[in-house]
Chain A
Amino acid sequence: MKISELASLEPFSCVQGEYEDGEITSGYTSDLLSDVMGNAEEGSVLITIQAHKNTVAVSSLAGVAAIVICNDRPVPEDMLAASAEEGIAVFQTSENQFNTSALIAQHIGGCPAA
């Protein structure tokens, strides 16, 4: 699926739309950013509740293309500014990390571990 198609999932909203659209082929779900940095794949979508600007710094280093903030955690201004600068899309959802991961997995060809 494309990054832009994340916005059409329910209940997702795009909160930072300055990014170059591209294909998402994998996802990574974690709230420990050192783990994200070491293990998230290039071009993946990061599913997390860590809504702050350091999530953007780590995503940029790991090559994460889009961030989905779960549980409707508020996204602060400095995170929006940093992600706009890095060209990383940010989405927000009221769903938790498990449900969000399951939903996105269906759209990128099912669960790779199955």
Chain B
Amino acid sequence: MKIRADFHIHSCLSPCASLEMSPAAIVQQAKAVGLNAIALSDHNCGFNLPAFGKICEQQGMNCLFGMEVTSVEEAHILCLFDQLDKAMELGEKVYDSLPDIPNNPEKFGDQPIIDENEEILGFAEKFLISASGYDVSSLVTEVHALGGLIIPAHIDRMVYGIIAQLGFLPDEEFDAVELTAHGDPALALNYPIVRNSDSHYLNTLGSTHTDLELDAFAVENIRSNLWKK
């Protein structure tokens, strides 16, 4: 099957994202712009993944359950799973490893946890933009043990991109690296490249995407297709 994917999308849970970013609105917009696979990837937790999973199932949208982890190095790293429980397990570990700094909604925005009907279930208490306790190497190990894909996010960006944080792209078992729309492919060295929108607002969804040819929509098939390119 031909897949047009956007694997980097924030919901309203991310304080920097618009409150319009409910799972239902994201899936509706994804369909409208011609995507047939998406991933939810909030900062350092997976609290909105259950609602996202339900909506995607109802709407027949291929989905990955993700999060964008801030490593100790303050590099942003996408972690993507095809199993909700594995993503939730990583989400819990990563959230637990965040420092006990509460969010200040007036300064940074709200962090609402919502259900599939857009009812607010509560708020993530810790400030989600803090760095987690995972360094890049230990995150690679953890994500692969849980059966997920690990992809340094927007490596061409000067803020929170892994090259800007470290000075180089480390030799790790990354499944791919992510570039922004016009990022230089030379930065990716020998890693496969994905491009995603990193949407915080509905109107940017799918503005950048990754095309894949898959036999089945699963992590293993995505990994092998990425390395075949």
A52 in contact with B73 given A76-B135, A78-B137 (CB within 8 Å): yes
Q: Can you name 12 A-B residue pairings with CB atoms under 8 Å?
A: A33-B73, A33-B167, A34-B165, A37-B167, A51-B72, A52-B72, A52-B73, A52-B135, A54-B73, A54-B135, A57-B170, A58-B166
In-complex Cβ contact of B170 among A37, A50, A54, A61 (8 A): A54
Bound CA–CA A63/B170 (angstroms): 18
Query: Does A6 reach chain B (CB closer than 8 Å)?
Result: no
B73 touches A53 (CB 8 A): no
Q: Which of B17-70 contact A (CB under 8 A)?
A: none
Number of interface residues of B (CB under 8 A): 14
Chain B, residues 141-184, CB within 8 Å of chain A (1/0): the string is 00000000000000000000001111110100000000000000
Bound CA–CA A61/B170 (angstroms): 13
**Residues in B neighbouring A112, C-beta threshold 8 A:** none
**Residues in A neighbouring B137, C-beta threshold 8 A:** 52-53, 78
Query: Does A38 reach chain B (CB closer than 8 Å)?
Result: yes
A32 touches B170 (CB 8 A): no
In whole Å, how far is A78's beta carbon from the nearest beta carbon of chain B?
7
Bound CA–CA A18/B138 (angstroms): 25
In-complex Cβ contact of B167 among A31, A34, A52 (8 A): A34
In whole Å, how far is A113's beta carbon from the nearest beta carbon of chain B?
24
**Residues in B neighbouring A33, C-beta threshold 8 A:** 73, 165-167
**Residues in B neighbouring A52, C-beta threshold 8 A:** 72-73, 135-137
Query: Does A89 reach chain B (CB closer than 8 Å)?
Result: no
Nearest opposing residue in chain A for B138, CB measure: A76
A residues lining the B interface (CB < 8 Å): 31-34, 36-38, 50-54, 57-58, 61, 76, 78
In whole Å, how far is B21's beta carbon from the nearest beta carbon of chain A?
30
Nearest opposing residue in chain B for A35, CB measure: B167
In whole Å, how far is B76's beta carbon from the nearest beta carbon of chain A?
14
In whole Å, how far is B165's beta carbon from the nearest beta carbon of chain A?
6
A34 in contact with B135 given A50-B72, A52-B72, A54-B73 (CB within 8 Å): no
Bound CA–CA A73/B138 (angstroms): 16
Nearest opposing residue in chain A for B172, CB measure: A54
**Residues in B neighbouring A54, C-beta threshold 8 A:** 73, 135-136, 166, 170
Chain B, residues 93-125, CB within 8 Å of chain A (1/0): the string is 000000000000000000000000000000000
A38 touches B73 (CB 8 A): no
In whole Å, how far is A36's beta carbon from the nearest beta carbon of chain B?
7
3 smallest A-B Cβ distances: which pairs?
A: A37-B167, A34-B167, A52-B135
B135 touches A32 (CB 8 A): no
Bound CA–CA A104/B135 (angstroms): 28
Bound CA–CA A58/B169 (angstroms): 11
Bound CA–CA A58/B168 (angstroms): 9
Give the residue among B163, B166, B170 with the most A Cβ atoms within 10 A. Answer: B166
In whole Å, how far is B118's beta carbon from the nearest beta carbon of chain A?
39
Bound CA–CA A56/B134 (angstroms): 17
B72 touches A38 (CB 8 A): no
**Residues in A neighbouring B168, C-beta threshold 8 A:** 37, 57-58
